Structure 1
Amino acid sequence: MTEQLTPTDSLLRRYLGDRRFALALPRAVSLQVLHPAIAAALTDHVHYRLWSHKQRSITRMIHLAYTGTNARFVIRAAHEHVKGRDSLGHRYHALNPEVFHFQHATYVETLFTAVNTFIRPMSADEHEQLYAECCAWYRRYELSTRPMPTTWAEFVTYFEQACATTLRVTAATETLAPQALRPDAWVPRFTPTAVIPALLHDRAAQLLDVTVTRRDRRALRTYATTLRGAGHLTPRSIRYLRVARL
């Protein structure tokens, strides 16, 4: 049975389609291009600009979350052929549970960062609620949930360990990193260049050799204050991505 994520009190429904989540996506994508398998898949199987691809794939991902559609056949059709060898010579497949879940996890972690930074700080209970809804969203893909932590606290531990042990700079990273750090399409192209260094996960900044200065952190704080204020004044038709205006 498909789990429903459509009640008016759903935090996932409230925040996933908000453009402020999309503005934070350089955080997720910079981590993805440091994952050997994901980076290889992007260079081997995506034959157009990185952010144009992300616009299509993330929009589809958000649509699945909002509509409650069973995603099994969509996901398999889009990923079954995505396989090969990464820059380290290791075989990869996009539907490998650890690989697929980590990519999804970068969006989950970025969603929490976007809400807490650009919208409003969430309480401990809201963190648990939103994470539980993210788990229900992931189950809709009907892939193995073996890598998926059961609580927000467990997710934080999993994510930090995965970033510390799995991510590295590869030849594919070198190709993709400039695009990840300076979006040229869709909503993320409006994320100010001055904000992106401080928006990055610490592990991504370290591996991509991005020095985060006090000026960068100040730019992020100023931008976040602007976005929080604008959110109260902007109508839903502008604040939400088209796919989320249901």
Structure 2
Amino acid sequence: MITVNNDPKPPPVGGVLWSMVGDIRMLLTLPPALTMQVAHPAVGAGVDDHSVFRTDPWGRGERSLVSLQLWVYGGEGAAEEGRRLRRLHKTIQGTDAHGRKYHALTPAYYAWVHATGYPVFRYAQQYLGRPFTEAQERALYAEWLQVGRILGIRDRDMPQTIEEFWPYYHKVLDNELEATVVVRELIATDRPVPVPDRGPRWLRLLLRLTWPWLGPRFVRFRRFLTIGLMPPDARQAIGLEWTDAQERRLRRFGKVVRAVVPVLPERLRFMPIARRARRAARG
């Protein structure tokens, strides 16, 4: 008997996401996307009540990054990762700061978490790489919809075209987003961040020794990138300030990134899951 696998497939090899998601520049886009997600009161409440982002920020970040790469480079394992995430979110529920009940898998909330990726990737690309052409923007959106299917997001719960996306996006900005407790924590510069506990032993030892000096600088840099790489309309909706001087600094930073990252060897430019997938695709 022939078994038919109806699992949604990952985005195509060689597509826009294939080139982006494993690149180390993707690390810089995660903070603004996460902050836009938790600016929704229901999502922010779920993270506030159930996430370990305060006690294990590095572990949580690593798991999110691995999951993102599996959606794109995971092959047949991509759909299983999507199912795993849905199982993980089944028990996440409670009441938000406005007294409204939430559940992590409520379609509108679950879709918003996914939707934030598209405007952040699109906006950050202007600083970290070459701006997308219109054709690339459309391909990116189509591929991001495909990732949504891997996550179990139904087509009726996400706008299916770019033309439908922007009215949906601005409606959420205008009516839902706010500076939640979690947003304020993510951009705070007076809250200590634990010493990173990932990597080789020598690196962990070095970080423990230098973290009293490095830690405060890291949180200021994180705030800078979180706000700077967030689309201005989302920044305004949440109430985050951004000055002309900061914009000039971000443009200078982006210029360095655009010059350095493309010339790095593959083992330094791409993260491990992406490197393995790229080697396999080349045969």
Q: Please report the TM-score for the alignment, with normalisation by the length of structure 2.
A: 0.75
2:236 matched residue in structure 1? 206
Which protein, 1 or 2, shows the higher relative CO under an 8 Å CA cutoff with sep ≥ 6? Answer: 1
Equivalent position amino acid for 2:72 in 1: A
Sequence identity (%): 27
After superposition, residues 40-189 of structure 1 pair within 5 angstroms as: 40-49=45-54, 51-52=57-58, 53-68=60-75, 69-71=78-80, 72-178=82-188
Contact 2:71 2:79 in 1 (8 A): yes
Equivalent position amino acid for 1:46 in 2: S
Contact 1:87 1:172 in 2 (8 A): no
Report the alpha carbon displacement of residue 233 of structure 1 after superposing the two structures with TM.
0.9
Cα deviation code 1:179-229 (max 9, x no counterpart): 8x998769xx59565454432333553355432111111011111111111
Structure 1 residue 36 corresponds to structure 2 residue 67: no
Contact 1:87 1:171 in 2 (8 A): no
What is the alpha-carbon distance in structure 1 between the residues aligned to residue 186 and residue 125 of structure 2? 26
Q: Please report the TM-score for the alignment, with normalisation by the length of structure 1.
A: 0.86
Contact 2:123 2:231 in 1 (8 A): no
CA distance 1:12–1:214, shift in 2 (3 Å): same
Q: Which runs of 5+ in 1 are unaligned?
A: none
What is the alpha-carbon distance in structure 2 between the residues aligned to residue 215 and residue 103 of structure 1? 30
What is the alpha-carbon distance in structure 1 between the residues aligned to residue 11 and residue 134 of structure 2? 22
Report the alpha carbon displacement of residue 144 of structure 1 after superposing the two structures with TM.
2.6
Structure 1 residue 217 corresponds to structure 2 residue 247: yes
Cα deviation code 1:145-164 (max 9, x no counterpart): 32211112322332222122
What RMSD over aligned residues (CA atoms) do the two structures have, in Å?
2.7
